[in-house]
């Protein structure tokens, strides 16, 4: 199994997960927060095209995640997997796409990829996050949540790789020019993980198999890669330079498990 981010942040998110078994390869796109043209450009950078994708999975209806997902689904004739609440919120239930409904706690298989949806506290209709597996290695993804929960800790435990939200630094957010209402939303229990909250979550999960740790969904206004990486590095006893931070412009390169 290998995975790459095409971009991560408040301006757009997309992640590709790929599993190869013998002569067959399965690829799924997690979120599509970019225009179709921009997504194509980013896929080409990763050596891929629309035709290489087998399915699209959407975490929730916020624009930086759903973006052009429905347009892409129609253009590339891709099945789209999301919760019923997300489908209602983004208008995916109009019959124009091949919609497949996901239920938290009900694993499914797309080709050779095992997918485990799980619930998170976030201010969306019915948000889900995911753990991907090829039967041996596990990739945990958590990009939008307001606070750690025991269920999240359980779902991410034992992952070989973790893409973990480090959205903001609390002091930078407090000092920013954002309206007070937006600051409360971001920092609230249904908003986004601060660096210290992400580190607290990381400290609780079973990291015995972890080989890749990536800080993701960083705010360009209220965080820095250095602060995010330092927070996670302190938990795992590594140097900050050993932690990867996904960027809005480039995401991160292919990682193999």
- Return the DSSP state at 138: E
Full domain range(s) for residue 163: 2-256
DSSP-derived secondary structure for 172-213: HHHHSSS-HHHHHHHHSTTS--BHHHHHHHHHHS--TT--EE
pLDDT of residue 239: 86
Query: What is the spatial distance between Cα 188 and Cα 194, in angstroms, rounded to a whole number?
Result: 10
| pLDDT in single tens digits along all 257 residues of the chain | 999 999 999 999 999 999 999 889 999 999 999 999 999 999 999 999 999 999 999 999 999 999 999 999 999 999 999 999 999 999 999 999 999 999 999 999 999 999 999 999 999 999 999 999 999 999 999 999 999 999 999 999 999 999 999 999 999 999 999 999 999 999 999 999 999 999 999 999 999 999 999 999 999 999 999 999 999 999 999 888 889 999 999 999 999 99
CATH code of residue 86: 3.60.15.10
pLDDT of residue 143: 96
Environment class of residue 214 by beta-carbon count within 10 Å: exposed (0-12), middle (13-18) or buried (19+)? buried
Give the CA distances from residue 133 to residues 66, 130, 206, 230, 251, in Å, rounded to whole numbers and listed in that order: 23, 10, 16, 28, 21
DSSP-derived secondary structure for 102-122: E-TT--EEETTEEEEEEE---
Of the candidates 44, 42, 55, the one whose C-alpha atom is nearest the C-alpha of residue 14 is 42
Domain count, the chain: 1
Tens digit of each residue's pLDDT (9 = 90 or more) over 117-131? 999 999 999 999 999
Crossing angle, helix 69-76 and helix 36-45, to 10 degrees? 70
Tens digit of each residue's pLDDT (9 = 90 or more) over 89-115? 999 999 999 999 999 999 999 999 999
Query: What is the spatial distance between Cα 99 and Cα 232, in angstroms, rounded to a whole number?
Result: 37
pLDDT of residue 246: 98
Query: What is the spatial distance between Cα 243 and Cα 234, in angstroms, rounded to a whole number?
Result: 10
Query: What is the spatial distance between Cα 148 and Cα 150, in angstroms, rounded to a whole number?
Result: 7
């Amino acid at each position: 199994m290998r995975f790459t981010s095409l971009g991560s942040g408040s301006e757009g998110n997309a992640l590709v997960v790929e599993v190869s078994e013998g002569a067959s390869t399965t690829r799924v796109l997690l979120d599509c927060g970019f225009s179709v043209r921009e997504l194509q450009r980013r896929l080409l950078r990763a050596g891929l095209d629309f035709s290489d994708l087998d399915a699209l999975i959407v975490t929730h209806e916020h624009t930086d995640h759903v973006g052009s997902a429905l347009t892409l689904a129609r253009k590339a004739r891709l099945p789209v997997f999301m919760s019923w609440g997300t489908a209602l919120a983004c208008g995916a239930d109009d019959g124009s796409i091949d919609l497949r409904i996901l239920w938290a706690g009900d694993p499914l298989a797309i080709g050779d990829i095992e997918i485990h949806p799980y619930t998170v506290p976030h201010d969306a209709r019915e948000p889900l996050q995911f753990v991907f597996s090829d039967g041996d290695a596990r990739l945990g993804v958590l990009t939008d949540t307001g606070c750690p929960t025991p269920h999240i800790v359980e779902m991410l435990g034992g992952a070989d790789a973790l893409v973990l939200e480090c959205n903001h630094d609390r002091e930078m957010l407090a000092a920013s020019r954002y309206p007070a209402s937006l600051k409360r939303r971001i920092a609230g229990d249904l908003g986004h993980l601060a660096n210290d909250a992400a580190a607290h979550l990381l400290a609780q999960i079973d990291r015995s198999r972890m080989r890749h740790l990536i800080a993701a969904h960083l705010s360009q206004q209220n965080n820095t890669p250095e602060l995010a990486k330092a927070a996670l590095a302190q938990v795992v006893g590594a140097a900050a330079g050993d932690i990867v931070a996904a960027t809005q412009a480039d995401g991160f390169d292919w990682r193999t498990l």
